Amino acid sequence: MFNTPRFMIAAFAALSLCATPAAAFSFGKKSTPAQEVIEIITVPEQLITDLQVDFDLPENAAAAIVGNLAHESGNFRMLHEIQGTCYGYSQWCGSRKTAFRAFSKSRGGQQTYEANYGFLKHELATQYQPMLTRLRRANSVDVAARIFMKEFLRPRASTANLTRRVNFAKKYLRDDFSGAGCYSHFKLEAAHNPAPCPDIRMARASS
């Protein structure tokens, strides 16, 4: 893990720019303009940051939530349920999906991070405060993942697969976000699903 807290890194990452040095001075040549590069951030990275900041969650609990959502959404790249009608990071169904779609209209559409995290935040803040308290007290990512799965998502037994949810969470805690949908360079690909981040990532300096 990075020595600098994750939420401090990602909170400023979208605003931080890295400028390449100008070419050395030489007669008869113009200096090369600096190129601005925005750090690449995946959806799960940003979610973990936002959940920690907005709900005062420990990193294990935030990662447990995001690992659950990764299982539901194909690592944040398959928003529409396979052979079903649920949609979004949480695979909202029925009346929850109807409410999510209405919510998303003023937030860029149902594929966007703003809509998906915004509605997740709304539900957590208005209906799941007792669950959040239990998540803060959970003594492991495994326990936190089970709490969120059973109380917030409530999947069918045939699709629960807690092990896969925990594996995603532990992968993120190792700073492995490979293949995830992209937050900082958001775009849609086939079937209106979020594309992954570019392969080349800007190096982060640890402190």
Delimit the domains of the chain by residue range: 42-178
The CA-atom distances, in angstroms, between 115 and each of 29, 53, 136, 174 are 49, 18, 25, 27
Does the predicted model carry a pTM greater than 0.85?
no
Structure token pair of residue 142: 């495994």
CA-CA distance, 43 to 83, in Å (whole number)? Answer: 24
pLDDT one-digit tens code per residue, 167-179: 999 999 999 999 9
Average pLDDT, the chain: 84
Q: Does 42 have pLDDT greater than 60?
A: yes
Q: Does 51 have pLDDT greater than 60?
A: yes
Q: What is the DSSP string of 125-179?
A: HHH-HHHHHHHHH-SSHHHHHHHHIIIII---GGG--HHHHHHHHHHHHTT--TT
Residues facing residue 92 across a β-bridge: 87
pLDDT of residue 32: 52
38 contacts: CB under 8 Å, gap ≥ 6: 14, 16, 17, 184, 185
The CA-atom distances, in angstroms, between 159 and each of 41, 78, 144, 149, 152 are 29, 15, 18, 11, 15
- For the chain, counts of helices (H) and of strands (E): 8, 2
pLDDT one-digit tens code per residue, 104-113: 999 999 999 9
Q: What are phi and psi of 130, to 5 degrees?
A: -60, -40
Q: Does 93 have pLDDT greater than 60?
A: yes
pLDDT of residue 34: 53
Handedness of CA 94, 95, 96, 100 (dihedral sign): positive
pLDDT one-digit tens code per residue, 106-152: 999 999 999 999 999 999 999 999 999 999 999 999 999 999 999 99
Q: Does 159 have pLDDT greater than 60?
A: yes
Residue 185's pLDDT band (cuts 50, 70, 90): confident
Q: Does 14 have pLDDT greater than 80?
A: no
CA-CA distance, 94 to 114, in Å (whole number)? Answer: 21
Residue 60's pLDDT band (cuts 50, 70, 90): very high
Structure token pair of residue 11: 């909170």
